Amino acid sequence: MLTLVYSAFAQRAFAQEKDKNATALSILVDTYSQSVATRDSATFYGLFNDGSVMWGAVLSERTQSKEQEVKGTTASNYFEGSYKRFMRGLFRYESCEDKFENIHIIEDGSVASITMDYSFWANGSMTNWGSKYLSLIKRDGKWKITSVIYSLELTKYFKQPSLTERRKAKKKHRQ
């Protein structure tokens, strides 16, 4: 009987910790988005791990083909940067937003993965969109981003499908 009581208590404690982590990670995503919109570099930088952080993106094949066609270049579809360079680049716009939808969080209490659809807006217009993947660690009791990778579609070539269409496409892709 004592084992049953202990087991129920442990399960409840685990569920509460899971809820606490999910809430903290959701707040982190909101803070990321808000700090981009306000160009609050101190808050934005605080979301990232102190060590090395991977920041990379890849143009989709169809956007890359259009870019090559229009610009006559054979440049790579991959580029890397840093979260600090990203933040500094935001100051060239009068306004900007990094909007997130279709957010999925997976975590085990120590590491986490957050996937989402994003759209980046500059001066009131969407410039690009795609999928964004954040990897995180829980370091000294706080969640810190260790990598950001994302796909990139340029809206000058391809408009972002509706959320319903994107969900259908992802579901079909998983099968």
8-12, 41-45, 119-123, 149-153: segment of lowest average pLDDT: 8-12
Task: Please report which confidence band the pLDDT of residue 17 belongs to, taking 50, 70 and 90 as the band edges.
Answer: low
CA torsion sign for 60, 62, 63, 68 is: positive
Q: What is the DSSP string of 27-81?
A: HHHHHHHHHHHHT-HHHHHHTB-SS--EEEEEE-HHHHHHHHHHH-----SEEE-
Q: Which of 57, 59, 31, 56 is nearest to 45 (CA)?
A: 31
SS3 state at 82: coil
| The total number of structural domains that make up the chain | 1
Q: Is the pLDDT confidence value at 11 over 60?
A: no
> Can you tell me the distance from the alpha carbon of 98 to that of 22, in angstroms, rounded to the nearest whole number?
21
Task: Please report which confidence band the pLDDT of residue 119 belongs to, taking 50, 70 and 90 as the band edges.
Answer: very high
Q: Is the pLDDT confidence value at 106 over 90?
A: yes
Residue 98 is encoded by which pair of tokens? Answer: 């990094």
Q: Is the pLDDT confidence value at 45 over 70?
A: yes
Question: For residue 163, what is the domain's CATH number?
Answer: 3.10.450.50
Residue 75 is encoded by which pair of tokens? Answer: 């440049």
Residue 146 is encoded by which pair of tokens? Answer: 């260790």
Domain limits for position 137: 2-174
Task: Tell me what pLDDT residue 9 has.
Answer: 45
In 89-123, which positions are buried (b, 16+ CB within 10 angstroms) versus exposed (e)? ebeeeeebbbebeebebebeeeebebebbbbbbbe
Give the global pTM: 0.86
2-6, 10-14, 117-121, 136-140: segment of lowest average pLDDT: 10-14
> Can you tell me the distance from the alpha carbon of 169 to that of 41, in angstroms, rounded to the nearest whole number?
35
Average pLDDT of the residues of the chain? 90
Q: 72-90 pLDDT, tens per residue?
A: 888 889 999 999 999 999 9
Task: Tell me what pLDDT residue 10 has.
Answer: 44
